[in-house]
Structure 1
Amino acid sequence: MEIEVKVGVRFRQFQVSLSHSQLDQLGSVSRYVLVALAQEGVDWLQLVSVTTLDEFSLKPIRDRLIMLRYLDVGGQLTSLGRSMSQLLTLIESPQHVWVDECFSVRNNKVAILKDHTGLSKVEEGELDLLPPLRGINMVKEYSQVSRLKKAVDYWRMEEKLVSTLELLWSEASDMFSNYSILNEIDLEFKQLKETIVVPFTSTFSSEKVHSSWGLNSPALHCVRHASLDPSIPKFIPNLEDTPFIQSVCLLTGELIDDTHVSDDGDSNAFAEIEPLGEDKTQAWNVLHSKLEEIETVSYMNINLKFTEKYRSFYLPVSSFYDEIENDLDVFPVHKSSLRKQGAMQ
């Protein structure tokens, strides 16, 4: 049995910046030289004339940039040097993304939004939030940055890094397609304070799988006993009657086996769904029809005992991220080789 439930998904803002292994080793003056030489009409002599450093002081910087093939022997930017100059401007232009907080140490999945302006949002507390999945023996805190680094590794492995970088820095043109540059690039993430809550309708199933979110829903549990009244004369046969036990889900109106309900529900469930009044009435009508089907000897007393129990519904981690990738404009989500087993690594 499947149900659709609207839940809240919290996204936190992160700053994402580019880094480059060679450029990171350059000092501020070397970086300034690269950017300045990329300006139209600026050559090495003009650069020397507008700095406080003389030719002798700039020579080690020039020699190193030549060694890195950023400058030619005449002090002009090479094609690679122009790309590095452009990359430096991108490094100085960090972007912002929004990252879901439904994370777990057990999975590599992450939903990352570039922009949320087109999404509907709700206030905190308006919907039940999907919480982080920690589980038994998990560390109390788990680094979101570590999770994002795994996403970058996935993009690189699946050759999706270029398209992702181009979405973040659209002004980069085709620079990221240069694999000699791409192989030295990395992304750095910084967690910020701002969060938003996005309403999202997910499909929960009554089938429990490993690594999933649980919801509890009330069920009406009925035990029916038929017995002879004590005043019945002894010559009337004492008929044996097997108790009838049946539960009905008050949310869906589905008759369910007694093994699928419990007194308290799943202790790890993050929320309880309260059925509407008409849902409860419909569920009772289904149970009542079932009771009326039972054949009973007319002179036997019928005793009905009703108790409230709970059944649980589950949203697998893999299903949630599949749904969110299809419905929201997110960056590529990690695909696990173990998805068919209902487990995430």
Structure 2
Amino acid sequence: MKPFRYVRPASLAEAAEAHGARPGSAYLAGGTNLVDLMKLGVERPDTVVDVARLLPGGIETTAGGAVRVGAGVRGADLAAHPLAGARCPVLSQALLSGASAQLRNAATTGGNLLQRTRCGYFQDVSKPCNKRAPGSGCAALDGVNREHAVLGHSPLCVATHPSDLAVALSALDAEVEVTGADGVRTVPLDGFLRLPGEQPERDTTLRHGELVTAVLLPPGAFGVPSAYRKARDRASYAFALASVAAVLEVRDGRVARIALAFGGLAHRPWRARVAQQRLLGERPTPDAVRAAVDAELEAARPLRDNAFKVLLARNLAREVLGRLAAPGQH
């Protein structure tokens, strides 16, 4: 492991200053992803800024009825919180399917969103990877790409985002609170995580020195039927081949509210806005759900080894939406 300077700031402002002053710096909170990547030689920071004791660790309801989840909240605590579970099943289900109990006890909410891809070529420093070394190429394009993206990828990168929590937060219209030297700003989750485009090395729209300090859940995130379903190679503690987070409210037999997001298919959670628009105001019959999901997945561009992901995602979405639409199955 490359030697590095360790900084333990006394405040968030001091942390942002210490991080922003060095281009090769990295923030450390739970460390469940960063430390692994440092051991592999993928991440080689010259300075590690420890913010574990500084990040907000509470879950509170704001005056406007939104819920503010501090970036330092551990996954286990968020999954077990009364606001999750029965009131927001998609949130707790995503967290509980995402990692072992040991990792949930250590990993933070902010760090969960900032996970780097689990692409094998990204994690192997002997292979070309535009995300790890811009301009070196993408070995996954012609390599083993069974687990890679089918939506939103570019000729420079076909990696997927690994977070289960991020998929649920996308469906809940969450926002990310970001703190830096210029103060605090709030960004919609779908504008915080980015598609690869011409800069696959950038996973987020964070500016250098900024860090995630909270996630904001709107008042409407709670008390509405929702669910998360994940397909993976083994029954526990594996990353998604495809996953679905859905929120569905039916009134008088018609869809009054719907949010659908896919995981495991793209560089960030894929919000299925085409399917949502097709179903809003309609009766959620099996045929209507099938047509809406199929219309969304027409945009898929599978690689050599992963066309099965399109069918997998299609079946997951149909099953989850069908279950939420059935009376008494919420």
Please give the TM-score of this superposition, normalised by the length of structure 1.
0.19
Larger Rg: 1
Please give the TM-score of this superposition, normalised by the length of structure 2.
0.19
